[in-house]
Structure 1
């Protein structure tokens, strides 16, 4: 589904950042755009930055259901400042909080959590419920073999060694 990304530019609060950029909304079914000004209030300006495609995957249905169970279901907008002609490069839209977290962890990308409109919530819910397959929890059982009773002094059994790893180092007397 094509989603337009609305980005708000406000004055920065520190001397190191002249402007603060944040994604504030998505527009379902939006036409293509490139930093089209939507609204101007004082020094704050809202832009229709771009239109990206939100793709849902059947294997991520568990993540979508986790997102929908949140108090405010959201779309995650992944942006990057690459120093091009556009203020920010819009990389990706996702409804998976797990994927959003993965992009937030790398430190290079800006990930904004934007509330989903009602129609988009229904679309994602229908998709997730259609494709979700419940996976039963299987508890692993520990075997009864005691591995701590044998001490042969060889260290890790997977590494071949010809001598005791706990021996004193050999002094090379000259």
Structure 2
């Protein structure tokens, strides 16, 4: 149910990649990139083993993500579109400056991780649960402070009883 691997490649050269779980994604990604280059289609879906690889090709750059079989067909294309928009919007990410040895590639791994976490339904549930827990703590603290102020004012006879 989650995007477990993503990468950006120029041809068959992987520029940036991130895997959230262990596995031999690099080997499968290399095969998928070769197939994508042969097909020359802007969008492809390739099933290999227990994963489904979704790709988006724009201007010679291939955006790829791997999901498990249970993933819907809407989330991966949305993820790839968001990643490509971010990649193309930033002038430092252009092909002439972007290379695997460049520090920008390492920085873009954080972007991949952010979008992967955002698209993961498990992560959304956990984030929502943490938010509610945090919100409840704030409410409890606010009520405790308010009660403390009222008790202090009552004991100092500031408020009429």
Given the two structures, how large is their TM-score scaled by the length of structure 2?
Answer: 0.27
Pick the structure with more strand per residue.
1
Higher relative contact order at CA 8 Å, sep ≥6: structure 1 or structure 2? Answer: 2
Greater helix share, 1 or 2? 2
Q: Taking structure 1 as the reference length, what is the TM-score of the superposition?
A: 0.25
- The structure with the larger Rg is 1
